[in-house]
Amino acid sequence: MRRSYSVCVKQIIFAAALLLCAGALAGAQTVATVYNFAGGTTSGANPWYVTLVQGTDGQLYGTTYNGGSHGKGAAFKVTTSGTFTPLHSFAGGASDGAYPTGGFTLGSDGNLYGTTQMGGSGSQGVVFKMTTAGTVTVLHTFNAGTDGAFPWGAPVLATDGNFYGTASGGNKNNGLVYKVTSAGTFSIVYKFDQTHGTLPIAPPTQGSDGLLYVPVAEGGTSFCGTIVQLTTAGVLNNSYSFPCSSGGSFPIGPLVQASNGNFYSTTQNGGTNNEGTIYQVSTGLAVSVMHSFGAFFGDGTYPSAGMALGTDGNYYGSTAEGGSFDDGTLGDGLQLEQWADGVCECSAVQRQGGEQRVAAGRSPERNEQGDVQRNAGEVCGAFRYAHDGDGAERRYVGMDQGDYGVGDG
């Protein structure tokens, strides 16, 4: 069964030290559980679509969709050694919302900014800020008919000091991009239409050119999703419609810009096997499919949450299904690495169960396993996966060396 959005397999916080594509052989991956969510009133449950953010105090902050004192989600902090502190339990009323998704964005003021999918005075979600001590202030309450509803993730901090996010609802329920200040002044930046997309799930990404780039899950010329390029004032500069089929469809992961100026992300569907793609998009919105998932079972299927750029220059991601047990793929992650000589040489990967799967580049186009694809001789991609010796499949999103992430069952 196909799962929508981001699906993980264990309710854990874990640390991952990863080393990929670094010469002839990379070291074994190291994954250590930092904290297990217990649900109930003392702990949250189901950290959906969440990437942890590190506060100015060095601790890691995040949210869970369920659990907490009221069963409507919680905010927490955890040290890198696993000391867990619940900070806030969402009650679902006008004062704090309910069911937070997407974690936090760290503001320049040291506060944490996030959204809930429900709650607020209209029960359609809120934008809130929270101090590192857990004090929550609602900045805006959504109303679907006028200014959106049911946001999927935290707004991003732009260079102008404002926060920009996406929500459903708005003009004919096609969704919108909004701006909110740290003081709670809210305004609609852009309202979507069927032509330029509908149902935005990913937050905007601000490019080095100052423009906002937003993948939109549906709508467009072929009704398979779009990417729009906006100014922070809401002027539409350009748009791209995904063509469905091999060109990809249903883009719900945020874009990440690389040092070459291009952006990278995933579509949950489409591609050669209609099981998702990795794609590259230029600032001119020229899109190239870099990899189609589902070519072989271990490759994974339905990548939902996009990718994160690690400090080693690689990109990391996950798939919701596929892999050895059809429960998703993980491990050393999804990597796209630029090579000056146009040759991709990736390393052997050590599974935790003691088994190795070698994926060394054999040609400029693809390796013997068929999991390396190239674009104009610049980028190579491969998906790695691993499982514990007890056969329990695990995966994680957005890991770089020494990073921390969350998984959900």
Q: How many CA atoms lie within 13 A of 312 on its CB side?
A: 23
pLDDT computed for residue 219 by the predictor:
96
Question: What's the pLDDT score for residue 328?
Answer: 60
Tell me the helix, strand and coil percentages in the chain, rounded to 5.
5, 40, 60
Q: Which domains does the chain have, with CATH numbers?
A: 1-43+289-409 (no CATH), 50-241 (2.130.10.10)
Question: Given phi > 0 = left and psi -120 to 50 = alpha, else beta, which region is 350?
Answer: beta
pLDDT at residue 231, rounded to an integer: 98
| pLDDT tens for each residue of the chain, 409 residues long | 333 433 333 345 545 433 333 332 234 445 567 888 888 787 888 887 777 889 999 999 999 999 999 999 999 999 888 899 999 999 998 889 999 988 999 999 999 999 999 999 888 999 999 999 999 999 999 988 889 999 998 999 999 999 999 999 887 889 999 999 999 999 999 999 999 999 999 999 999 999 999 999 999 999 999 999 999 999 999 999 999 999 999 999 999 999 999 999 999 999 999 999 999 999 999 999 998 988 665 677 888 777 777 667 777 777 777 766 665 653 333 444 332 222 223 222 222 233 223 232 322 333 333 333 333 222 223 333 222 233 332 222 333 334 455 555 5
**pTM confidence score:** 0.76
210, 212, 207: which is closest to 177 by C-alpha?
212
Tokens representing residue 118 in the block: 């429900």
Exposed, middle or buried: residue 259 (CB in 10 Å: 0-12, 13-18, 19+)? exposed
Calpha distance 63→66 (Å, rounded): 9
Residues 6 or more apart from 355 whose CB is under 8 A from it?
A: none
Helix (H, G, I), strand (E, B) or coil at 376: coil
CA distances from 7 to 29, 177, 279 (A): 22, 25, 20
Q: How many residues does the chain have?
A: 409
Identify the pLDDT of residue 392.
Answer: 30
